[in-house]
Amino acid sequence: MARAHGRDREVVGKRLKEAGLKFTHQRLAIYEALAATVMHPTAEEVYGRVKEAYPMLSLNTVYMTLDTLKTLGLIQEMRFLDNSARYDANVDAHHHVICLGCRKIEDFDDAALDRVQPPPSIRRSYRLIKHSVEFYGYCGACQKQGE
């Protein structure tokens, strides 16, 4: 779910300031590029979306900014099928369904999955922070192509 850009500016600015970092238009643009999509882009895809407005932007700056935003809890990094890093501005608890054909990733909420508890052996061995469930299959478009 995309967020309102006015709120983005406030939240990003506040978190950066609390961390002793500068608020820059490039950092905000990178965050907003993520907040405006549900597609879980790679760093390269974020770079492609922001580069037009900021032609002097480097891919390295995008990587560093994504890492900063992740550290500040403003975005999350996920790794799916090919283990490449993908980013999401939706940091609320949610789950994913991933198409094995076109690699589309969709978010979904499910209260029953939110309540899933790991076995006692895992709870004794780990201090769990969060969890998410991933389903893998073929989206409708890929199913039609395979027919």
CB atoms within 10 A of CB 7: 10
For residue 22, pLDDT over 70 is answered with: yes
Within the chain, all domains assigned CATH 1.10.10.10 are found at 5-88
Asked if CATH classification 3.30.1490.190 holds for the domain at 95-146, the reply, yes or no, is: yes
* Contact between residue 1 and residue 38 where contact means Cβ atoms under 8 Å apart: yes
At residue 139, φ and ψ (nearest 5 deg) are: -70, 170
Span 24-69, pLDDT tens digits: 999 999 999 999 999 999 999 999 999 999 999 999 999 999 999 9
C-alpha–C-alpha distance, residues 117 and 88, integer Å: 24
Span 62-95, pLDDT tens digits: 999 999 999 999 999 999 888 899 999 999 999 9
For residue 123, pLDDT over 50 is answered with: yes
C-alpha–C-alpha distance, residues 76 and 89, integer Å: 6
* pTM of model > 0.95: no
- In residues, how long is the chain? 147
Question: What string of DSSP letters covers 14-66?
Answer: HHHHHTT----HHHHHHHHHHHT-SS---HHHHHHHHHTT-TT--HHHHHHHH
- Show the tokens assigned to 133: 């469930």
Within the chain, all domains assigned CATH 3.30.1490.190 are found at 95-146
* CATH fold group of domain 5-88: Arc Repressor Mutant, subunit A (1.10.10)
